[in-house]
Structure 1
Amino acid sequence: MDNPLLKPFGTPFDSVPFESLKPEHFKPAILQLIEEAKQEIDAIVSNAAPPDFANTIAAMEYAGKRLNVASATFFNLDAAETNDDIQQLAQELSPVLAAYSNDIMLNSGLFQRVKQVHDEADESTLTPEEVRLLDKTYKSFARNGALLSAEDKEKLREIDQQLATLTMKFSQHVLQETNAYQLHIQDQAQLAGLPDSIVAAAKSDAEKRGLDGWVFTLHFPSFVPFMKYAANRDLRRELYLASATRALKPNEYNNEGIVRDIVTLRDRRAKLLGFGTHADFVLQERMASSPALVLDFLQDLLQKAKPRALQEVAKLQALAETDGISSLMPYDHAYYAEKLREATFKLSEEALKPYFPLPQVLEAAFDAASRLYGLVFELRTDIPTYHPEVTVYEVLENGLHKALLYTDWHPREGKRAGAWMTAFRGQWKENGQQVRPHISIVCNFARPVGEVPSLLTFSEVTTLFHEFGHALHGILADTTFESLSGTNVYWDFVELPSQFMENYCYEKDFLRSFARHYQTGDPLPEQEIDKIVAAANFMEGYQTVRQLGFGLLDMAYHTGKLDNDTPIERFEKDTVRDTLLYPDVPGTAQSTSFSHIFAGGYSAGYYSYKWAEVLDADAFSYFKETGIFNPETAAKFKALLSSGGTIDPMTLYIQFRGRKPAPDALLKRAGLVE
């Protein structure tokens, strides 16, 4: 079989040849490329020359590059454009790739060479980046079992293969449950409160399914506005329950056992490697270096945020009582929060949407990157894509190629929920040549309907800027080694560039530059801009407490708190009890669809969103002092972004800011302190 993954791509910038790529190409290609990578590793091990940085550490870094691209392409498709064939392949390939990774990390001959370089290298002859890679490589082996006995190495292999399979199943079950549900409405009276644009989208969805009436789903562009605007409380409750019971129901997609198995296996793995818990293992390589430090951080924020959150919920309760609701429930929150916001600020997210058509918002993000970092984004129609809705831009700096940026904006059955940045290829330097990255942003914004373009809520505007911030981290990468490039940084540092970009959405002058009505071109009225800025901290207490609940739940799972007898639902609710602001809804739980920690990279790391908020608030306060597009300040931040993981993140931050981050900036921005 002619396999495009096993020959030169022959595409512009060596981009993935999606147009000739089929699901059946992946398995044979990945299996062959694994063997190719193993041969490259064997050549390092059998090298007769004494081990040194170049023939061992650097050589390892350059091994398996073709495999990296093929596997990244496959798993990105599994997230953004999956189908039954790809999902089946994912279950087959995940343990195979886990075994390959173990083959490297548990290769005693390879580790002996790494250890000898680590123990004997004269660091004065190495660049700071090389010293960093040497340390990271040695630690990676140690943290992945190189120091274990032969018997324990086999135990580790078995655990890693099981985890690879289970995390993939978890993700697939959540997607299946999300896709399986639809709220089919045929009585127009049940649409009361819903904006015309949301109703039109639901009508279009029903027509695609061959149904009369209107269909609402658990996908973000459908679920969120329904919960926010639908006056029918019973239907809000129905949709909420469908979401809050995903992979919790007694069917083939139930994730309760998988959650328990993942937690148990992660704990066993950590103990095998000499750590007390999975959180201890993870946090060894984080800015927040221990579970105790993380828990102190979360509890301190909770103490400051909860009084504000209780005040906010009390205001919603008072508003709900005017509708005869004596006890506000979780499925009421978004509805009455929107009512309160409209009453307090005379600000309607729905009324703002015509001023934020997707193409306009994207151009604003590009404009910010141009003004900050001198980047230019040019549309390319000659780059193959995995779906007709995907658009590709070439990123230029000083007229020279910098990166490719793929954008994929709208929900599909084959796409998981949420928004994320990823890469098909990273950045590195080899033989004096730059290999530039291929970055992708994937979101789930409402698609255009008829002549109306995709219109974003303001929260979706901030989502786009958030993911674009991650993309810039990848685009600006300028390191020698891929494993230290772009977003390959400590996990509680990775959210700084993304959350930093969100700040621009609240800057009045910048908002004026792009918030224009998609039909008339009229600018967003000044009073509406004032309202957006004034409402920036609306429900900040509630949102903070909610995020802290997720962080505490994550830490509880990964610090050995789950026992064999406690049901998942009860464990979750007992754990987050101090963060619950509404009465319990029996039979619901977040855990079984908590993809961030059970299928993503955030296990023992969900706290990092709040941790990074401290960094981004402090960083943006520096820009506010000097000018939000100040060239000197931007140049310093660009240096931070382009350095990736080559420098310790606190050192990198101090180089940018001149000091350590100050938590007060976050508390002031959030309105939690005066």
Structure 2
Amino acid sequence: MPAVDNPLLAPWSTPFEAPPFEAIRAEHFRPAFEAALAQNKAEVAAIAGLAEEPSFDNTLAALERSGRMLDRVASVFFNLAGSNTSDELQAIERDMAPILSRHRTAIYLDDALFRRIDAIFAQRDRLDLTPEQGRVLERYHMAFRRAGAGRPEEVKQRLAALSERLASLGTRFGQNVLNDEKAWSMPLDGEADLAGLPDFLVEASARAAADRGQAGHVVTLSRSLIEPFLQFSARRDLRETAFKAWLARGEGGGETDNRAIIAEMIALRAERAALLGYESFAHYRLDDSMAKTPGAAMELLRSVWRPARLQAMRERDALQALAAEMGDNVDIAAWDWRYYAEKRRKQAFDLDEAELKPYLQLDRIIEAAFDTARRLFGVTFAERRDVPVYHPDVRAFEAKDAAGATVGLFYGDYFARASKRSGAWMSAFRSQEELDGEVTPIIVNVMNFSRAPDGQPTLLSFDDARTLFHEFGHALHGMLSTVTYPLLSGTGVVRDFVEFPSQLYEHWLERPEVLQRHAVHYRTGEPMPKALLDRLLASRTFNQGFATVEYVSSALVDLEMHLLDRTDGFDAAAFEAKVLGEIDMPAAMVMRHRPPHFQHVFAGEGYSSAYYSYLWSEVLDADGFDAFLEAGDIFDAETARKLKQFVYAAGNRQDAAKAYRDFRGHDPDPQALLRKRGLAA
């Protein structure tokens, strides 16, 4: 297909040079990938084959300029594959995963290319490099070494085969989970099945049925629907059915069963680490992290596990007592926890989700996130209806700095649909850089909120609102980036630092200064009453034993799996049971993500052996927000200036620990995490 006929390869004349989604069809991607891969191979071959002595400009800067067409095609494709997929896109994704892995591996195992980088690295102290150039050199050299550059040929060939196979397995894993989620629904037949459900959830279940072409009401495996169902449904039998289906994603037998995939991925990851000289895959992954070693990550997880489990058991006893008071002759099970916890929250704080949601309109929470960015960083957002979008639900906003200059284009994709994988995330259609002039980033936040009926505002739970703030923190990290080189842009930092800017941003949602302005009743426009606001803020650490235990247990199982150096006969379910037995997991609780649907860890390599990162970053965010409290103003200008300079705008210009110290003035205090979660002694 000629470039002129393929919108992915032709110049884009849209506002902000955004992808022309209306012109892009599934059949455009394979030829676009073929053309972009051929171009990138030629670019890299030209760099590796240069006769001139290697220099930063002719090797590393040239590498940074290479692959731009491939990046453009891949960013559009993989964003659509996650947020608006189809059978055609899934087939292309399965085909392209090993091809792209093979291409990337070939670059990082190219001996001629590595010799040039290694020669520059050897004389780095004698070169007149800027600090950012020095960081680019350091990161490239490390990436090549960690990929296997310089190893014997037979080792490199095996590493390439491992990477290719792992890419295919990760793609299949994620598609299997999505297909299980799409395939399951539970009809709610009549008033008896709707018992206990508040109006907003009845409406959401009706909308879910309509979206699936069904009459009446259904529960699906979308987190935004199943979690409130477990929270409110008075039908214990239906809660159990829904919960067990949620738990069983990826292990139902048949084509979408992920257990054999997990076993193979664990074995291949361990083999790759051994070939690279590491004790385990976890040692390999964490070597390039703030934690540095699995031991440091494990120490943090276990230090939090002990107080969290004690608190969870106290919470469990309170729920059991409440069930008895209500006349329910049950032993609290995992499908009961959210139901009785909601009753207890109402009892303890005179607070329930149905009372809060009218004050948490999606549009107003979006405004709250934008307004917080304005008050902290001087960034404003204006909706642009002339920008192409990939689905009618998607909204586009132009971000400008205090001087009126455009700093980014932001897409918000907020509603659940069958074509979208579950969860919430931030991604980029284009990352910021200034190597050959300023490149405006195009950033997207993807959520899975339940849409309100037509003509009514979508109302969020407080957890939904927190998720929106979290992902918008990631978005700001991408948009406020001010680096020269693409390698260092935005969120391209070590895994256990990348969650710091996003988790830190959540703190502003919980502040009266924000809620009083933006939490207004969708019918009356009245702000949330002070009494309700006080009760909400007083409940911030409610059920934190449960929340911490379900998270930490997932992180521990992930880390323990990837510490294995012997993987013969690996059985994910048996291993999960073994680890949970060793840590004495409460019987009424389960992991937040069980291995067969643990997409963070197995749908690619993003958080493999590094799911602990959220907790590591939470130490940073808890201590980091204290800087604003110590200043006496959550929008203190000088503290915000340092936060922007050393964190949000800095990308990966320097080591993450130094970046934090430059912002905060000292290393983080781990006790801040326990105080935040209400787990301090």
What's the TM-score bracket when you normalise by the shorter of the two chains? over 0.9
Question: What pairs with 1:39-188 in structure 2 (closer than 5 Å)?
Answer: 39-122=42-125, 125-188=128-191
* Partner residue in 1 for 2:545: 541
* Partner residue in 1 for 2:512: 508
SS in 2 for 1:442: strand
* Partner residue in 1 for 2:429: 424
Q: 2:657 aligned with 1:650, yes or no? A: yes
Cα deviation 1:98-128 (Å, max 9, x = unaligned): 0110110111111110111111234551111
Deviation at 1:324, TM superposition (A): 2.7
Deviation at 1:562, TM superposition (A): 7.0
Deviates more, 1:495-504 or 1:552-561: 552-561
Equivalent residue for 2:465, pick from 461, 465, 468: 461
Q: 2:627 aligned with 1:632, yes or no? A: no
CA distance in 2, matches of 1:345, 1:111: 62
Q: 2:282 aligned with 1:279, yes or no? A: yes
Distance 1:589 1:523, change over 3 A: closer
Distance 1:123 1:333, change over 3 A: farther
Equivalent residue for 2:346, pick from 342, 365, 373: 342
Q: 2:675 aligned with 1:668, yes or no? A: yes
1:549 touches 1:579 (CA, 8 Å); kept in 2? no
SS in 2 for 1:444: strand
Hey, which bits of structure 1, 4+ residues long, moved more than 6 A?
none
SS in 2 for 1:377: strand
* Partner residue in 2 for 1:205: 208
Deviation at 1:72, TM superposition (A): 1.4
- AA of the residue aligned to 1:447: R
1:355 touches 1:518 (CA, 8 Å); kept in 2? yes
CA distance in 2, matches of 1:308, 1:448: 36
SS in 1 for 2:312: helix
Unaligned runs of 5+ in 1: none
Deviates more, 1:297-306 or 1:548-557: 297-306
Q: Percent identity among equivalent residues?
A: 39
SS in 1 for 2:174: helix
1:229 touches 1:335 (CA, 8 Å); kept in 2? yes
CA distance in 2, matches of 1:87, 1:116: 42
Equivalent residue for 2:385, pick from 381, 388, 395: 381
Distance 1:373 1:228, change over 3 A: same
2:263 touches 2:571 (CA, 8 Å); kept in 1? no
Deviation at 1:307, TM superposition (A): 1.3
1:569 touches 1:589 (CA, 8 Å); kept in 2? no
CA distance in 1, matches of 2:15, 2:190: 52
Deviation at 1:512, TM superposition (A): 0.2
Question: What pairs with 1:216-227 in structure 2 (closer than 5 Å)?
Answer: 216-227=219-230
* Partner residue in 2 for 1:557: 561
Question: What pairs with 1:482-493 in structure 2 (closer than 5 Å)?
Answer: 482-493=486-497
* Partner residue in 1 for 2:456: 452
CA distance in 1, matches of 2:386, 2:587: 52
Q: 2:365 aligned with 1:358, yes or no? A: no
CA distance in 2, matches of 1:584, 1:514: 35
CA distance in 1, matches of 2:641, 2:116: 39
Deviation at 1:80, TM superposition (A): 0.3
1:123 touches 1:131 (CA, 8 Å); kept in 2? no
Deviates more, 1:500-509 or 1:362-371: 500-509
Deviation at 1:448, TM superposition (A): 2.2
CA distance in 1, matches of 2:452, 2:328: 37
1:194 touches 1:229 (CA, 8 Å); kept in 2? yes
* Partner residue in 2 for 1:270: 273
- AA of the residue aligned to 1:52: S
- AA of the residue aligned to 1:633: T
1:52 touches 1:121 (CA, 8 Å); kept in 2? no
Deviation at 1:205, TM superposition (A): 2.7
Unaligned runs of 5+ in 2: none
1:390 touches 1:409 (CA, 8 Å); kept in 2? yes
CA distance in 1, matches of 2:391, 2:167: 27
Distance 1:190 1:465, change over 3 A: same
Distance 1:395 1:572, change over 3 A: same
Q: 2:394 aligned with 1:390, yes or no? A: yes
1:248 touches 1:589 (CA, 8 Å); kept in 2? no
Deviation at 1:381, TM superposition (A): 1.2
For the aligned residues, what is the CA RMSD?
A: 1.5
Deviation at 1:199, TM superposition (A): 0.7
CA distance in 2, matches of 1:342, 1:561: 48
Deviation at 1:57, TM superposition (A): 1.1
CA distance in 2, matches of 1:608, 1:43: 39
* Partner residue in 1 for 2:478: 474
CA distance in 2, matches of 1:330, 1:271: 39
* Partner residue in 2 for 1:496: 500
2:466 touches 2:509 (CA, 8 Å); kept in 1? yes
Q: 2:302 aligned with 1:332, yes or no? A: no
Cα deviation 1:286-329 (Å, max 9, x = unaligned): 00011111111111111222211211111111112233334110
Deviates more, 1:555-564 or 1:54-63: 555-564
Distance 1:561 1:584, change over 3 A: farther
Q: 2:201 aligned with 1:194, yes or no? A: no
CA distance in 1, matches of 2:569, 2:46: 50
CA distance in 1, matches of 2:408, 2:110: 35
* Partner residue in 1 for 2:11: 8
2:195 touches 2:235 (CA, 8 Å); kept in 1? yes
2:98 touches 2:168 (CA, 8 Å); kept in 1? yes
Q: 2:529 aligned with 1:529, yes or no? A: no
2:203 touches 2:452 (CA, 8 Å); kept in 1? no
- AA of the residue aligned to 2:172: K
CA distance in 2, matches of 1:572, 1:7: 49
SS in 2 for 1:393: strand
Cα deviation 1:174-224 (Å, max 9, x = unaligned): 000001001012231121100011112212332344433211101122111
Distance 1:238 1:629, change over 3 A: same
CA distance in 2, matches of 1:106, 1:194: 57
Deviation at 1:419, TM superposition (A): 0.4
* Partner residue in 2 for 1:613: 618
SS in 1 for 2:342: helix
Q: 2:324 aligned with 1:321, yes or no? A: yes
SS in 2 for 1:394: strand
- AA of the residue aligned to 2:541: N
Q: 2:41 aligned with 1:38, yes or no? A: yes
Distance 1:563 1:267, change over 3 A: closer
1:282 touches 1:604 (CA, 8 Å); kept in 2? yes
Deviation at 1:157, TM superposition (A): 1.1
Deviates more, 1:557-566 or 1:614-623: 557-566
CA distance in 1, matches of 2:245, 2:551: 21
- AA of the residue aligned to 1:638: K
- AA of the residue aligned to 1:557: M
- AA of the residue aligned to 1:297: L
- AA of the residue aligned to 1:112: R
1:572 touches 1:589 (CA, 8 Å); kept in 2? no
CA distance in 2, matches of 1:585, 1:10: 50
CA distance in 2, matches of 1:560, 1:291: 12
Cα deviation 1:109-154 (Å, max 9, x = unaligned): 1111011111123455111111111011011111101121111111
CA distance in 2, matches of 1:652, 1:50: 34
